[in-house]
Amino acid sequence: MEYIYEHKDKVRDYECDLQGIVNNANYQHYTEHARHEFLLTRDISFAELHEQGIDCVVSGIEMRFKAPLKSRDEYVVRINVRKEGIRYIFLQDIYRLPDNKLCLKAKVEAVCVVNGKLGDCDILERSLCNC
C-alpha cells in the first residue's frame, strides 16, 4: 500500500504491561495521535472544526496485531485515507524501526457530525481527498 503520511515516535516505559510489551490499548493512542498530527499537516484542527459545528468522530476501529513493540522501540505510523460514502477510512500501519517489522494493521472509520447531523464535511473533502 502507498502511504501519504508518516509519524515517528518512541515507546515509553509506562506504556508496557507486565510482559514487557506495549499494552494493546496504547496502539489505539498511537494511531489517534498520528491521525491528529496528519490532519494538522493539512491545516485541519478539531477545535476549529468544533467551533464551526463540525465534529469528526470515530465510528469503528479494527486492529490486527502482528508483532509486539517493547520499551524504547522506535516506530512509525504510516497512513493512507479513502472515502466510502460519508465515512473516512484511515488505514494505519505501525512498523518498528529500524527493521520495518510490521507490528499493527489498523482500519479506523470516522464520520462527521455537521450541526448535529451525519453528513459530508467540505473542509475534509478539500483537505484529504485524493481519496
Q: Supply the residues annotated as catalytic.
A: 17
Omega of the bond prior to 98 within 30 degrees of 0, cis?
yes
Q: Which three cell numbers stand for residue 23?
A: 499494552
Give the residues across from 62 on adjacent strands.
107
- CA 44, CA 73: separation in Å to the nearest integer? 29
Stated length of the chain = 131
Query: Is the separation of the CB atoms in 108 and 61 below 8 Å?
Result: yes
